[in-house]
């Protein structure tokens, strides 16, 4: 039997919380390891809320502020923390630069960060511990060093940022609505894989090109063949892209380039196709559509139904009725 993916083995219990605050100091302490202090600047009764989800070395959060505060902090060494504004009720300044909804906020860095929020401010954030940050290290090492060394704003691809924003809020909403989803190792692994893929697109959009000739093309085909063998040997729980990279001993960027050059799709799209086909087989014996989907790691059932219909021309519920 194949060994389960490392991220599934090391998965710690998920922590889900949603806390309202009427004191700025108490809210500043809500994000453990950020060493924050908040100084309220605008006049009025302070109000705020922090939603958090922690699992597998990731922390997702949404922080709301109802008054302007001056924040200072310093992320723990080795971690990466980024944020995307969801709401800006006026001007705000991050590390000396004017902030807006289109900027990626990088909180991590040896020098710490400073932030003056607007009076009505909502920030979506992602923090990776050192091990999880290394797992996302398919982008350029110089970029990784820059993002990890200095807090500040980054002007990056708008479509990729929108994808990351939708991904993070989707994961949080899904787990808040159904916390038992994270009991499934396949769901946890797929969530981590999805978040890492979206973060990779933001930090270093994948470069695509024409298939290469000669030795490069043969190397790509050999890598794809080995990846396919690993996937199809574990059809009941196909490995995530992260697990594939670890088992193959290559970076995510290398695997992405091979699949894109040879097959015209990335490894994540290929893994999802494998899982969709496995889900169709599972529907023949499963007790429900939900049971089949969750077993294969699908956690957003609306997306699952859409992707399934796009792949097979019918909804999974229609397949279930037909098979039974």
Torsion of CA 205, 227, 293, 285, to 10 degrees: 160
Report the pLDDT value the prediction gives residue 65, as an integer from 0 to 100.
95
The pLDDT value given to residue 187: 85
Q: How many helices and strands in the chain, by DSSP H and E? A: 13, 12
Q: What is the pLDDT of residues 186-219, one digit of tens each?
A: 888 888 888 888 887 777 644 434 434 456 777 8
What's the pLDDT score for residue 144?
A: 56
**DSSP letter at 211?**
P
Q: What predicted TM-score, i.e. pTM, was given to this entire model? A: 0.69
Token couple for 42: 């605008």
Segment 74-125, tens digit of pLDDT: 998 888 899 999 999 888 889 888 888 888 999 988 889 989 899 899 999 9
Residue-level pLDDT at 137: 52
pLDDT of residue 143: 52
**DSSP code string of 37-59:** EEEE-SSS---EEEEEEEETTEE
Low-confidence ranges of the chain (pLDDT < 50): 1-12, 138-140, 205-213
């Amino acid at each position: 039997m194949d060994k389960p993916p490392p991220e599934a083995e090391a998965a710690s219990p998920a922590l889900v919380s949603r806390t309202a605050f009427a004191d700025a100091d108490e809210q500043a302490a809500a994000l453990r390891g950020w060493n924050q202090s908040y100084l309220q600047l605008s006049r009025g009764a302070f109000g705020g809320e922090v939603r958090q989800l922690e699992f597998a070395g990731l922390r997702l959060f949404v922080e709301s502020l109802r008054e302007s505060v001056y924040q200072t902090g310093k992320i723990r060494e080795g971690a990466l923390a980024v944020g995307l504004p969801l709401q800006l009720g006026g001007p705000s300044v991050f590390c000396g630069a004017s902030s807006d909804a289109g900027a990626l906020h990088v909180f991590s860095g040896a020098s710490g960060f400073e932030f003056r929020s607007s009076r009505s401010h909502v920030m979506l954030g992602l923090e990776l511990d050192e091990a999880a940050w290394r797992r996302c290290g398919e982008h350029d090492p110089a970029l990784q060093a820059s993002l990890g060394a200095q807090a500040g704003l980054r002007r990056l691809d708008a479509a990729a940022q929108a994808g990351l924003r939708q991904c993070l809020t989707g994961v949080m909403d899904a787990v808040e609505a159904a916390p038992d989803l994270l009991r499934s190792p396949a769901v946890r692994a797929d969530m981590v894989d999805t978040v890492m893929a979206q973060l990779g697109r933001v930090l270093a959009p994948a470069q695509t090109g024409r298939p290469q000739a000669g030795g490069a093309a043969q190397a790509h085909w050999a890598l794809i063949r080995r990846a396919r063998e690993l996937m199809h040997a574990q059809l009941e729980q196909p490995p995530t892209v992260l697990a594939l990279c670890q088992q193959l001993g290559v970076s995510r960027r290398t695997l992405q380039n091979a699949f894109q050059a040879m097959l015209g799709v990335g490894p994540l799209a290929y893994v999802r196709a494998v899982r969709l086909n496995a889900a169709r087989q599972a529907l023949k014996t499963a007790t429900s559509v939900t049971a089949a989907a969750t077993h294969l790691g699908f956690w957003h059932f609306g997306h699952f139904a859409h992707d399934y219909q796009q792949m097979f021309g019918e909804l999974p519920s229609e397949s279930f009725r037909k098979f039974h």
